[in-house]
Amino acid sequence: MAVLGLGRSGLSAARALREGGAVPLCWDDNPEARASADAEGFGVRDLARAGGFDGVDWLVVSPGIPHLYPAPNPVIAAAWAAGVPVDNDIGLFFRSFGSGDWAMFDQPPKVVAVTGSNGKSTTSALIHHILQSAGRDSQLAGNIGRGVLDIDPPGEGGVVVLELSSYQTDLARALTPDVAVFTNLSPDHLDRHGGIGGYFAAKRRLFAEGGPDRCVIGVDENEGRYLANQLSEAPADDRVIRVSSGSKLSGPGWDVFARKGFLTEWRKGRQVASIDLRSVRGLPGAHNHQNACAAYAATRALGLAPRVIEAAFHSFEGLPHRSQIVAEAGGVTYVNDSKATNVDAALKALQAFPRIRWVCGGLMKEGGLDALAPGLENVVKAYVIGREAAGFALGLPGIEAEICTEMDTAVTRAVAEAQEGEVVLLAPAAASFDQYDNFEKRGEDFAEKVRARLAG
């Protein structure tokens, strides 16, 4: 079994393969990564060279490695030429999930898989939190938490909650969750998927390949409405739970929607439950209310009662870098939403608060900033960071924008100028790689600078 890419998921896959009786052959273009694999006793082979796939039965690829667009990695092209099947750790997980011990379980373990453009991390973590609060055995893995092949074997009635990116769903040869969740779709990773159609197709595989028992579908975009329609056999088919933030859903099926801060569940034409989300501190804004609806629907599909879910909402503290409150002082709230790396995510963050001093900017993505317009009315002033700060500021017509370039300058200015009742919000609407290794480092820098300014 060959393993290409020796980051977290690659090494995890190699260890799991060895424990399962296979012989891993590892490769990474990074010499340090190869040295790490060699130190753990794994065979290292340049798979792109002639004969690289001699004696190899299967190739497991890490998610960051392109397999089709914008061009196949040479190792993957070599695997195609050799007729070696290409897979990833998610495919291995689903192929191997289950054991003979399950025949003794009254309640076999289940898998909940969450995908979408925005909100999938919060939705996955919230599902996991609700299950744990209800006393259910739950593990969080995939694109969040532990590597999918590092989890413990689930026991009686256990649940594995997986966050899956488009990179993971696109290549996995097996995708068979019990409950599958689609949050929403907005343009992202378009070069990797050959455009928006390829990006949606990668997400859609989670539902089309394995036939989940229940599908939770966000229907606020055409892609979600199309997907829900494709999966339904009739208007009253409650195997599909439609979810919306902002629109009242009606019909004979199963719907969960949030309007004006209230989550409502309708089933078979009648209201089943209602929850006031306005006081749920860890889920501010309409975008988090959509996440709450999706998590509510998924856990209802697993048999949890509305009152149990509601109680868990109130103890959820949110995730770092996703609408995370990092400080409060002088009537000003400081919020780290560094994960808002695209325009759609940033727009939702801007629409969550009424008076914002906005720290934004970074490595701009395709499509420009025009889609931010509906949220700019909430912005008191923008403080623009990043190497492209001047160009970013030009894309924000009608609001005051100060070019700060560095995080320290932006935070210093925002803290000095913020008034009672305002929110200082980091929601970059851009990638972090021009100044930081990842969005986590950017969010940590923001939080550290805020606390330092408030303390000094």
pLDDT at 199: 96
Looking at residues 49-56, what average pLDDT do you find? 96
pLDDT at 400: 97
Residue 184 predicted with pLDDT over 90: yes
Write the class of the CATH domain 324-451.
alpha beta
Per-residue pLDDT of 133-157, as tens digits, reads: 999 999 999 988 789 999 998 999 9
- Percentage of the chain lying above the pLDDT 90 cut: 87
Give CA–CA dist 242/314, Å, rounded.
23
Q: Cβ(164)–Cβ(142) under 8 Å?
A: yes
In this prediction, residue 427 has a pLDDT band, given cuts at 50, 70 and 90, of very high
| Residue 122 counted as an annotated binding residue | yes
| Residue 186 counted as an annotated binding residue | no
Tokens of 68: 């089709």
Cα-based angle 88, 178, 254 (whole degrees, multiple of 5): 130
In sequence order, what are the residues at sequence separation of 6 or more whose Cβ sits closer than 8 angstroms to the Cβ of residue 338? 321, 426, 427, 428, 432, 439, 440, 442, 443, 446
pLDDT at 168: 96
Give the pTM: 0.87
Per-residue pLDDT of 355-385, as tens digits, reads: 999 999 999 988 899 999 999 999 999 999 9
Per-residue pLDDT of 303-341, as tens digits, reads: 999 999 999 999 998 888 988 999 999 999 999 999 999
In sequence order, what are the residues at sequence separation of 6 or more whose Cβ sits closer than 8 angstroms to the Cβ of residue 326? 334, 335, 336, 446, 447, 450, 451
In this prediction, residue 12 has a pLDDT band, given cuts at 50, 70 and 90, of very high
pLDDT at 447: 97
Looking at residues 121-127, what average pLDDT do you find? 96
Domain ranges of the chain: 2-87, 92-314, 324-451
Looking at residues 21-30, what average pLDDT do you find? 96
CATH: 3.40.50.720, 3.30.230.10, 1.25.40.20, 3.40.50.300. Which one for 2-87?
3.40.50.720
pLDDT at 37: 96
pLDDT at 132: 98
| Residue 119 counted as an annotated binding residue | yes
Tokens of 305: 């009662």
Residue 78 predicted with pLDDT over 80: yes
Residue 99 predicted with pLDDT over 80: no
| Residue 117 counted as an annotated binding residue | yes
User: Distance between alpha carbon 116 and the CA centroid of its chain, in Å?
Assistant: 7
* Length of the chain, in residues: 456
In sequence order, what are the residues at sequence separation of 6 or more whose Cβ sits closer than 8 angstroms to the Cβ of residue 293? 243, 244, 245, 256, 257, 258, 263
What is the architecture of the domain spanning 92-314? 3-Layer(aba) Sandwich (3.40)
In this prediction, residue 17 has a pLDDT band, given cuts at 50, 70 and 90, of very high
pLDDT at 451: 97
Looking at per-residue pLDDT, the higher value among 98 and 419 belongs to: 419
Per-residue pLDDT of 56-76, as tens digits, reads: 999 999 998 999 999 999 999
pLDDT at 100: 73
pLDDT at 104: 87
Dihedral sign, CA of 226, 232, 235, 237?
Answer: negative
In this prediction, residue 406 has a pLDDT band, given cuts at 50, 70 and 90, of very high
User: Distance between alpha carbon 86 and the CA centroid of its chain, in Å?
Assistant: 24
* Distance in angstroms between the alpha carbons of the first and the last residue of the chain: 56
pLDDT at 102: 82
Phi, psi of 37, rounded to the nearest 5 degrees? -65, -40
